[in-house]
Chains A and B, each alone.
Chain A
Amino acid sequence: MTILNLVFIVFLGILFFIAYFHISNYILDIYGNKTLKRYNFENSIRVIVFITPAFVVLFIFILYPVFETIRLSFYDKFGREFVGLYNYKWAINDPEFRRSILNNLVWLLVVPTLSTFFGLVIANLADRIWWGSIAKSIIFMPMAISFVGAGVIWKFIYEYRGPENTQIGLLNAIIVSLGYEPQAWLTIPMWNNFFLMAIMIWIQTGLALVIFSAALRSIPKEMLEAARIDGASELKIFFSIIIPYLEQTILVIWTLITIIVLRIFDIIFAMTNGEWQTGVLANLMYDWMFRGGGDSGRGSVLAIVIMIGVIPILAWNLYKHRQEQKI
């Protein structure tokens, strides 16, 4: 496809949706003028016009797939024959699956916690220092770049050359200058997971930071002043006032990062492709979508396991939503 064609279909695609709303409104205007008395009827047609595109997309891309994936998890690799719990039994006995679950759990434990912690500490530091906003910008920047881009950045840091060569990876250069042997960091089982997690923490701390920065401003200045006059140290203020005050925000950020980490795929796919025992569920699932011509049963089971991880958060969100509706 030439570039000109590409530009053309891009415009056509966007224009199609604008035209849909505009033309249907035009038709409704003509029709509505003739039957002015039936204002309510016209309105209900407008509702249908307004919500149909979004609802169709929602149905095709989210609602139907959720049920279809659940159905497929009980069927064979082509989705044709019912096999009961076979795919689930396979998963429980599969060493790769167990490894992925374990890795996912470690990711879920480490990344949201450390990102939230660093975000909170840095937001707090930056708030009191005149060059704080520049610092925040710098730490926030990784949020803008892709996981794969971040992967390349960090792969360069972890780059390994044999001991007889000059190290061009920063980490090995530091290690060598301290008198140790260089290491192929990404191939050391168990530890390599933490080197991959460092990338995610590097990215997500920025997210925590900006949300905390906004939240910090909501703490009443008088309260902090009063504490300072009473002689409380900054550390004491941090633990006794700021953390309790931001409890809700901490929870929100923690769940936000948890959701992102649950589906983590790009970093591992780009850096190790799940080798050296670094695989997680999303990578295993991608693998099974195509391995041996693809196995929709096993892939679906893996998707469902990821889904199970978000169900508590989903339930909590719905509960909160219902509370808000009541008010």
Chain B
Amino acid sequence: MKKFSISSLLSQLLLLFFVIIWIIPTFGLFISSLRDKDLLAISGWWTSLTTTEVNEIYRMSGMESQIEEDGYFKIKGKLFEDNSGKKIESFGISSKKINEFNIGDIATFKDESEVLLDEDGNYEWRSRTEFKKKKGKRLFTTSLSPPAFTFENYREVLFKEGIGRAFINTMAVALPSTLIPLIICSFFAYSLTWMKFYGRDTLLAIIIASLVVPLQMSLIPILTIYNDFGALFGVAAKSYPGVWMAHTGFGLASTTFLLRNFLKSLPNEMMEAAKVDGASHYDIFLRIIIPLSIPAFASIFILQFLWCWNDLLVGLVFLDQVPSEIILTAKLKELLGSRGENWEILTTGAFVSMTVPLFIFFALQRYFIRGLVAGSVKG
């Protein structure tokens, strides 16, 4: 056992401080995505476990619902659905004095009609004379809302806001954009490592140089190529295959580089022995290299997949921003603009977009870290 020391305690506190700072933003987002949207709009997520004071405006029913009873004309009704669990504390009949009356008080309007309200929102509005207006009068309520958590935001975001479709689109972008480079780069890396041909070293140097070339260098020429290609063959310039190939191009150098580093570490004798036995390079690749490279493939798959899943720029430039093509990050950015005040939609949408990365993170962290440590550099 280590002996207790002040320096150890200090390091623990310091680390705890870092951990809290790092977790709070994501935690707040997660809690908010589960909160009732009305509460979310008026109170901080850190108060989500306490009761919140809510000020609201309701309108009572109009003349159609009036009945005659005990010499009064009465309109009875309910301000809100009773399942919400909120309790009215006080109410008012004008916007200037919203807390004028307590529950049990009788509030009198200028036209001498009176209103009674209970804490569950049931009201009775009565008048000696007949009600003649189609619209009822407004009531200003101050109520206490208990903590309310709901999956309603998720239903709304997934099916009404188009995040569900964007999720599928993102999957349709990310999966091929990860598998295609993996397929072609594994053959490429194999040739660069185990086959002798003229210009191999130059090709390797080009790969290493390409690692750091920013993808901005490619955007304009590629967009031009796609536009020309689309015009020439009468197809859409922006399409899924176009995005796959763009991602393949931008991920090619790093995927090849990482795979080659791995293949280089395999023992040469094994390849020689297989060759002596008459195996072709394709056989060697299929029977020996692939089974041995599964962990490396897993790491590279995760890196490239997360890169494609989280990408915004490529999806923005090479896909149309329509419901059938828009990806999650672009959709989120769009919502940030159009629904900037609707935090229940933003927080939930952001969390939906994070589900796949977080799943990969928790389930396959080992491979993820291994890939990063292997020296991921990406232009």
Contact = CB atoms under 8 A, between A and B. Distances in A.
Interface of A: 1, 3, 6-7, 9-10, 13-14, 17-18, 21, 25, 28-29, 32, 43-44, 46-47, 50-51, 53-55, 57-58, 60-66, 68-69, 72, 79, 118, 122, 125-126, 128-129, 132, 135, 137-149, 151-157, 159, 166-170, 173, 202, 205, 207, 210-211, 214, 233-234, 252, 256, 259-260, 262-263, 265-266, 269-270, 282, 285-286, 289, 296, 299-300, 302-304, 306-307, 310, 313-314, 317-318, 321-322, 325
Interface residues of B, number: 115
Contact of A135 (B18, B190, B249): B18
B312 A147 contact: yes
Contacts of B155: none
A13 B244 contact: yes
6 contacts: A13-B244, A54-B188, A63-B210, A138-B23, A152-B336, A252-B375
B78 interface: no
B184 to A, nearest CB: 4
A182 to B, nearest CB: 12
A317 B212 contact: yes
A61 B217 contact: no
Interface in B335-377: 336, 343, 346-347, 349-350, 353-354, 357-358, 360-361, 365, 368-369, 372-373, 375-377
Interface in B168-187: 168-169, 172, 175-176, 179-180, 183-185, 187
B192 to A, nearest CB: 8
Nearest to A126: B15
B24 interface: yes
A54 B218 contact: no
B343 A168 contact: yes
B34 interface: no
Given A149-B354, A269-B333, A66 B213 contact: yes
| Residue of A60, A143, A148, A296 with highest tally of chain B CB at under 10 A | A148
Contacts of B223: 289
B282 A46 contact: yes
B357 A57 contact: no
Contacts of B372: 143, 207, 210-211
B41 interface: yes
Nearest to A134: B19
B196 to A, nearest CB: 9
A263 B246 contact: no
Contacts of A10: 172, 175-176, 240
Interface stretch (B64-72, B98-106, B250-258): B250-258
B288 interface: no
A166 B44 contact: yes
B310 A146 contact: yes
B15 A125 contact: yes
A69 B218 CA distance: 7
Contacts of B41: 168
A252 B212 CA distance: 13
B224 A167 contact: no
B29 A152 contact: yes
Interface string B281-310: 110000000000000000000000010011
A63 B188 CA distance: 16
Given A63-B206, A72-B220, A300-B220, A122 B281 contact: no
Contacts of B349: 152
B209 A318 contact: yes
B42 A166 contact: yes
A28 to B, nearest CB: 8
Contacts of A303: 214, 216-217, 219-220
B44 A167 contact: yes
Given A50-B190, A50-B191, A66-B217, A318 B11 contact: no
Given A146-B357, A259-B212, A270-B312, 16 more contacts: A13-B176, A43-B281, A46-B281, A53-B188, A61-B245, A61-B250, A62-B210, A66-B213, A125-B11, A125-B14, A144-B361, A146-B311, A146-B312, A148-B312, A303-B216, A317-B209
A99 B75 CA distance: 64
